[in-house]
Amino acid sequence: MATLTIDGQLITVPDGTRLFDACREARGEDLPHFCYHPDLSVAGVCRLCQVEIEGLPKLTIACNTTVRDGMVVQTRSKRVQQAVQQILEMHLINHPVDCPICDQAGECGLQDQYMAYGLYESEVAKADKVRKAKVQVIGPQVILDQERCVLCTRCVRFCDEVTGTRELGIFNRGDRAEIGVAPGRRLDNNYSLNTVDICPVGALTSRDFRFQKRVWLLRATPTICPGCATGCNLRADHEGGRIYRLVPRRNDEVNGPWACDLGRLSYKDIHAESRLAVALARGEGGLESRGWQEARAELFGLLKPGGVAFALADPRQSLEELVLFKRLGLRLAGEAQLAGGIAGEGMAESDGILLAADRRPNRQALRWLELPEIAPARLAETLRGARGTLLVFGGDPFAHAEIAAAAGRLRVVYLGTHLNATARAAQLVVPLAAWAEKDALWVNGRGRIQRGQRAVAAPGAAREDWRVLADLLDHLGDSLDLPGLAAVRRLVAQELGLADLDVLNRLPVGGLQPELPAKAPTQGE
């Protein structure tokens, strides 16, 4: 351990700690900086984080300095402040200062540093600015404005060190130096939008979010990515009932500070034209809208014990919902006619970073609950010639032509979010809340339970899934008393065999990796 003094405060930190991090701990805030990023190598190019160290004749950059025992550091001296102002002025000489039309305005490092350490009268004579290329489309998701760039190299280091794709580099020298893509290349990796996040100014902007909404109007809600089994922690930025972007939330146990582009753009499904906002029932002219009470009565009529040929869920449903669905399916159809999803659906290639081969967010929950998946051919064989009702909770099994053909004689009840092939073939369609429209638990591929919170309201008459399932169970005479989600989560904890039945109501921010009790092997195992 090293003990040092920073701005008169004695502080002890582990040996090898960067002085930048030690100063953050002592000051309660970061030193001024552009190039430093805790998850990238040290570049030391912006020179903003200079500090005064007793015994050294010159100022030194804190990001590339390691603490030593007995060090005495000044971060707020007049000498340091003058150095910061001078460096900021050099950064601003060729900056376009187009804040009113820049997407980064409101969360810009250059604005923040100037307001905190600048506010000076310029001593540099006005000269012609160096003009560089603007609005360059350098990839499917990212636009580059070279005039705004402060050459911090964060984006270059990200593509070198995190993705290993090396699309970006610095070209030319002096004040003509500029960030750009390598000849014949595009910024087209699975994580390109992370370069927008780590850009401290507005040099790199998202083509999807560009000019959509001022950031100070947005509200932030923590959520979990529905794109794959990694379960990256995200922040949904929304306003007026609409999500405008998803950005990563740091969780060192899951995704660190990053998220893939596929997960970031998954919010678009929330506002798709195919979203279900009203209940639909089949009439003489096809599917017709129904009021909730009318649809509820028809739902009770179609779902009766012994009258359900098969009950099928989907691993995109939350942990609470799958627990309730299993209980409902056992009452309606029995264990042999119950499945948690279509086997093999949502499997693709992993990219070896965050994007998992399993593109379903909650498949691990199926294993915990012993809800098997069923192959399309086997489900088609099971349904062929069957009578009664097919209950489908989420997903789109009728996207498989063999399943759709085999279920032709069944009355389909679809509980879901979008008007897909299954919904179009249904006798009754009940609209449900999507992942960002409900408070729910998700189990990632490594068995970590995480909580996503509701960011926006569900459209129209769409209902929270657990309320619909609990209502059905209550109608069937189940003795459950579920006045709210807290009670549902106690039921989930009981189903999983957790000793503390309230542990899921007290989930820490980073989630929980529970140790589940071993289950007795079944006969033949």
b or e along 120-134 (b: 16 or more beta carbons within 10 Å of the residue's beta carbon)? eeeeeeeeeeeebee
Domain architecture of the chain: domains with CATH: 2-92 (3.10.20.740), 279-506 (3.40.50.740)
pLDDT at 500: 95
pLDDT at 521: 47
**Closest residue by Cα to residue 146 from 186, 212, 202:** 202
Tell me how far CA of residue 75 lies from CA of 32, 33, 87, 338, in angstroms.
10, 13, 15, 65
Is pLDDT at 120 greater than 90 in this prediction? no
**Closest residue by Cα to residue 417 from 442, 389, 395:** 395
- Model confidence over 449-503: pLDDT tens digits? 999 999 999 999 999 999 999 999 999 999 888 999 999 999 999 999 999 999 9
Cβ contacts of 15-20, under 8 Å, gap ≥ 24: 15/67, 16/66, 16/67, 17/66, 17/67, 18/42, 18/62, 18/63, 18/64, 18/65, 18/66, 18/67, 19/51, 19/62, 19/63, 19/65, 19/66, 19/67, 19/71, 19/73, 20/49, 20/62, 20/63, 20/65
What is the rounded radius of gyration, in angstroms, for the C-alpha atoms of the chain? 28
Quickly list DSSP for 241-269.
TEEEEEEE--BTTTTBT---HHHHGGGGG
pLDDT averaged over the chain? Answer: 94
- Model confidence over 509-523: pLDDT tens digits? 999 999 898 765 444
Contact 412, 397 (CB under 8 A): no
The full length of the chain comes to 525
Q: What is the identity of the amino acid at 56?
A: L
Confidence of residue 322 (pLDDT cuts 50, 70, 90): very high
Contact 220, 237 (CB under 8 A): yes
Is pLDDT at 525 greater than 70 in this prediction? no
pLDDT at 126: 63
The contacts of residue 5 (CB under 8 Å, 6+ apart) are: 11, 71, 72, 73
Outline where 443-508 has alpha helix (H): 465-475, 485-496
pLDDT at 522: 42
- More confident position, 518 or 310: 310
Read off the pTM. 0.93
pLDDT at 457: 97
Confidence of residue 113 (pLDDT cuts 50, 70, 90): confident
For 360, half-sphere exposure in the C-beta direction (CA atoms, 13 angstrom radius) is 23
Is pLDDT at 144 greater than 80 in this prediction? yes
The gap from C-alpha 408 to its chain's centroid, in whole angstroms, comes to: 38
451's torsion region: left (phi>0), alpha (psi -120 to 50) or beta? beta
Tell me how far CA of residue 40 lies from CA of 113, 232, 355, in angstroms.
21, 19, 20
Task: Give the C-alpha separation, 367 to 369, whole Å.
Answer: 5
pLDDT at 523: 41
What's the whole-number mean pLDDT along residues 135-141?
96
pLDDT at 98: 87
Q: Which tokens go with 66?
A: 């390691």
Task: Give the C-alpha separation, 245 to 235, whole Å.
Answer: 8
Percent residues over pLDDT 70 in the chain: 97
Is pLDDT at 285 greater than 50 in this prediction? yes
Q: Would the CA dihedral through 354, 267, 181, 185 be positive or negative?
A: positive
Task: Give the C-alpha separation, 340 to 345, whole Å.
Answer: 12
Contact 313, 359 (CB under 8 A): no
Task: Give the C-alpha separation, 406 to 380, whole Å.
Answer: 5
Task: Give the C-alpha separation, 16 to 25, whole Å.
Answer: 15
Task: Give the C-alpha separation, 202 to 400, whole Å.
Answer: 45
The residues pairing with 332 across neighbouring beta strands, listed in sequence order, are none
pLDDT at 319: 98
- Model confidence over 333-377: pLDDT tens digits? 999 999 999 999 999 999 999 999 999 999 999 999 999 999 999
Q: Which tokens go with 183?
A: 């000849």
Three-state DSSP state, 436: helix
